């Protein structure tokens, strides 16, 4: 009887642990955390690129508003920096004039999905629909093919990355987060970026950050003084003959 009681207690403890683990995983996903795989191969987006030429890229996600976009474009033009903008379909359709303005200024445009949803929760058919329609919305204005994709919230799983790759899109993450969406001061945004950049870095900003435009001259002047060169993401990444290691660093095959 004593053995039975101990055995029952052990089973109850094990069951409780399983419940906690499942609940914890669900909470993490609800909070927008990246999907974590406990075993098996993992498909990864490009976080940064293994380069030794000091080339880096700055990018802007466009999902809501345009209030600060003109100031960002003005500072990019003044510094002669070409950037990459990732636009959500509903933003592109609401602000086609800004989409055209970004393109005509010489910047690169990629898709940031159609609806800005957590795409790791979607089926393959839903993913394909999001990527196809959002890319078409951009092309209809710019006349240019879309080849880059940034998952909303930085949320992804194997299915999303594999599907994007199969559709000819390079999934792009980042390794330097400005946190400008938190309305940090321009000095704080610049300090975060300058302190973390390395050759091959991809910087994440947002087109409607409150102090993002104000931070740009500091970022450009400081990083150029350190010998860095800004290029669009499409010119930073390798288009073929590459590998991506378990940190998300893209490497040329001969350097893998």
Closest Cα partner for 128 from 92, 163, 176?
Answer: 163
User: Around Cβ 90, how many Cβ atoms within 10 Å?
Assistant: 16
Report residues of the chain scoring pLDDT below 50: 1-39
Task: Give residue 4's pLDDT.
Answer: 36
Domain range list for the chain: 1-33, 48-255
For residue 189, what are the β-bridge partners?
A: none
Residue 149: predicted pLDDT: 98
Sign of the dihedral through C-alpha 15, 157, 248, 240: positive
| CATH class label, 48-255 | alpha beta
């Amino acid at each position: 009887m004593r053995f039975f009681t101990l055995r029952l207690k052990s089973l109850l403890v094990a069951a409780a642990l399983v419940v906690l683990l499942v609940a914890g995983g669900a909470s993490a996903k609800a909070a927008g955390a990246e999907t974590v795989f406990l075993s098996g191969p993992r498909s990864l987006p490009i976080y940064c690129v293994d380069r030794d030429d000091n080339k880096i890229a700055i990018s802007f996600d466009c999902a809501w508003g345009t209030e600060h976009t003109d100031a960002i474009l003005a500072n990019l033009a003044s510094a002669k920096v070409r950037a990459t903008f990732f636009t959500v379909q509903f933003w592109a359709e609401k602000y086609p004039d800004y989409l055209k303005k970004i393109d005509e200024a010489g910047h690169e445009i990629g898709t940031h999905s159609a609806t800005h949803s957590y795409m790791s929760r979607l089926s393959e058919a839903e993913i394909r629909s999001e990527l196809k329609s959002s890319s078409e919305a951009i092309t209809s204005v710019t006349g240019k093919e879309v080849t880059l994709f940034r998952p909303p919230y930085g949320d992804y799983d194997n299915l999303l990355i594999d599907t994007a790759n199969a559709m000819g899109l390079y999934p792009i993450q980042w390794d330097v987060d400005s946190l400008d969406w938190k309305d940090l001061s321009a000095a704080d945004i610049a300090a975060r970026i300058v302190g973390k950049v390395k050759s091959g870095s991809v910087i994440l900003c947002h087109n409607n950050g409150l102090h993002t435009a104000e931070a740009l001259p500091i970022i450009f002047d400081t990083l150029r003084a350190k010998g860095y060169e800004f290029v669009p993401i499409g010119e930073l990444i390798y288009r073929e003959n590459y590998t991506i290691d378990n940190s998300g660093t893209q490497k040329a095959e001969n350097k893998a």
